[in-house]
C-alpha cells in the first residue's frame, strides 16, 4: 500500500530526483512513493531518470501557455490531483509557483535551495555566497510560499567555502548535501515528524530543530 504519494517537479538534469528515487529503491524514503514526475521542459535528463525508474512522467511545457502562468499552473494541478498527490517536491524546478498552485496543496509543497536561507535566495545561491565572501554555504529544504525562497525552513546542511573554491567546486559540494537532505525530509514528512508552528518547524523525534540543523546527520541519526 502506498503511503505518502509524492509528485516531483523538475526542469533539468534531475540529480535531486535521482537521489529521491534511489532512496525509495533502498527503502530509505519511509512510507513515501513517487507516483508522478512532471517536467516543464522536454528532453531533459530528469525525464529519462524517471522512465528508467518506472515512474510515470509527463511534460507540461510552460512555453505552450504563451506566458499565461495561471493556465500553466492549472495544468500542473490537474495532473497532480489526477494521481492523488499528497506532497509536491520541487527538485530543480525553475519556475515560480503562484497562489493558485499553492492553494491546491496547502502546506504540502517543499523546495530544495542551494544556500542557507534566508541568505542568498533566488538564482545562483552558490555564486552569491562566493561573491559575498561567505565562509559557510549549504542547502535548505523549505516549505514554499508565494515569496522567493521565503517559506519556513525544514532542514539545512552546511559546507565550508574553501579559499580556492570556484562556483563549480562549491556547487558540487553543496549538491552532495542536497542529495542527502531532500530524501530525508520527504521521509520525515511521510512519517509525520515535521510539525509547523508558524515560521518555526520542529522535527519530532530527532532532538534537533529545523533551524539548528546545520549539519547532515549520519545514517544513525535517522532512526
The reply to whether 126 and 97 lie within a common domain is no
Confidence at residue 130, expressed as pLDDT on a 0 to 100 scale: 96
The reply to whether 189 and 87 lie within a common domain is no
Query: Which of 80, 106, 132 is the C-terminal boundary of a domain?
Result: 106
The reply to whether 158 and 92 lie within a common domain is no
The verdict on whether 179 is a catalytic residue reads: no
Label each residue of the chain as H, E or C.
Answer: CCCEEEEEEECCCCHHHHHHHHHHHCCCCCCEEEEEEEECCCCCHHHHHHHHCCCCEEECCHHHHCCCHHHHHHHHHHHHHHCCCCEEEECCCCCCCCHHHHHHCCCCEEEEECCCCCCCCCCCHHHHHHHHCCCEEEEEEEECCCCCCCCCEEEEEEEECCCCCCHHHHHHHHHHHHHHHHHHHHHHHHCCCEEEECCEEEECCCCEEHHHCCCCCCHHHHC
- Which ranges of the chain have pLDDT less than 50? 208-223
Query: Which of 89, 106, 123 is the C-terminal boundary of a domain?
Result: 106
Does this model's pTM top 0.85? My answer is yes
The reply to whether 145 and 88 lie within a common domain is no
What total number of domains does the chain contain?
2
Confidence at residue 1, expressed as pLDDT on a 0 to 100 scale: 53
Q: Domain range spanning residue 11?
A: 1-106
Confidence at residue 207, expressed as pLDDT on a 0 to 100 scale: 58
The reply to whether 96 and 134 lie within a common domain is no
The reply to whether 189 and 96 lie within a common domain is no
Confidence at residue 180, expressed as pLDDT on a 0 to 100 scale: 97
Q: Are 51 and 57 in contact (CB under 8 A)?
A: yes
Query: Which of 106, 133, 160 is the C-terminal boundary of a domain?
Result: 106
Active-site residue, selected from the candidate residues 62, 113, 179, 213:
113
Q: Are 38 and 9 in contact (CB under 8 A)?
A: yes
Q: What is the CATH number of the domain that holds 101?
A: 3.40.50.170
Confidence at residue 67, expressed as pLDDT on a 0 to 100 scale: 80
Which tens digits make up the pLDDT trace of 8-56?
999 999 999 999 999 999 999 999 999 999 999 999 999 999 999 999 9
End-to-end CA distance of the chain: 22
Q: How far is CA 163 from CA 115, 136, 159, 210, in A?
A: 18, 11, 13, 28
Q: Which three cell numbers stand for residue 6?
A: 509524492
Strands 32-39 and 57-59: parallel
Amino acid at each position: 500500500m502506498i503511503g505518502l504519494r509524492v509528485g516531483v517537479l523538475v526542469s533539468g538534469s534531475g540529480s535531486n530526483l535521482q537521489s529521491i528515487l534511489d532512496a525509495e529503491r533502498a527503502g530509505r524514503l519511509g512510507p513515501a512513493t513517487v507516483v508522478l514526475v512532471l517536467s516543464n521542459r522536454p528532453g531533459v535528463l530528469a525525464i529519462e531518470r524517471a522512465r528508467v525508474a518506472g515512474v510515470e512522467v509527463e511534460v507540461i511545457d510552460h512555453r505552450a501557455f504563451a506566458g499565461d502562468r495561471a493556465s500553466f499552473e492549472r495544468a500542473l494541478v490537474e495532473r497532480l490531483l489526477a494521481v492523488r498527490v499528497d506532497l509536491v517536491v520541487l527538485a530543480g524546478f525553475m519556475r515560480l509557483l503562484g497562489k493558485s498552485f499553492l492553494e491546491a496543496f496547502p502546506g504540502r509543497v517543499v523546495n530544495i535551495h542551494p544556500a542557507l536561507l534566508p541568505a542568498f535566495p533566488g538564482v545562483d545561491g552558490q555564486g552569491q555566497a562566493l561573491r559575498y565572501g561567505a565562509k559557510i554555504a549549504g542547502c535548505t529544504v523549505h516549505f514554499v510560499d508565494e515569496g522567493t525562497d521565503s517559506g519556513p525552513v525544514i532542514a539545512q546542511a552546511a559546507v565550508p567555502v574553501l579559499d580556492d573554491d570556484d562556483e563549480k567546486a562549491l556547487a558540487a559540494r553543496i549538491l552532495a548535501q542536497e542529495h542527502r537532505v531532500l530524501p530525508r525530509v520527504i521521509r520525515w514528512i511521510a512519517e509525520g515528524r515535521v510539525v509547523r508552528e508558524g515560521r518555526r518547524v520542529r522535527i519530532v523525534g530527532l532532538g534537533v530543530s529545523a533551524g539548528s540543523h546545520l549539519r547532515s546527520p549520519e545514517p544513525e541519526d535517522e532512526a
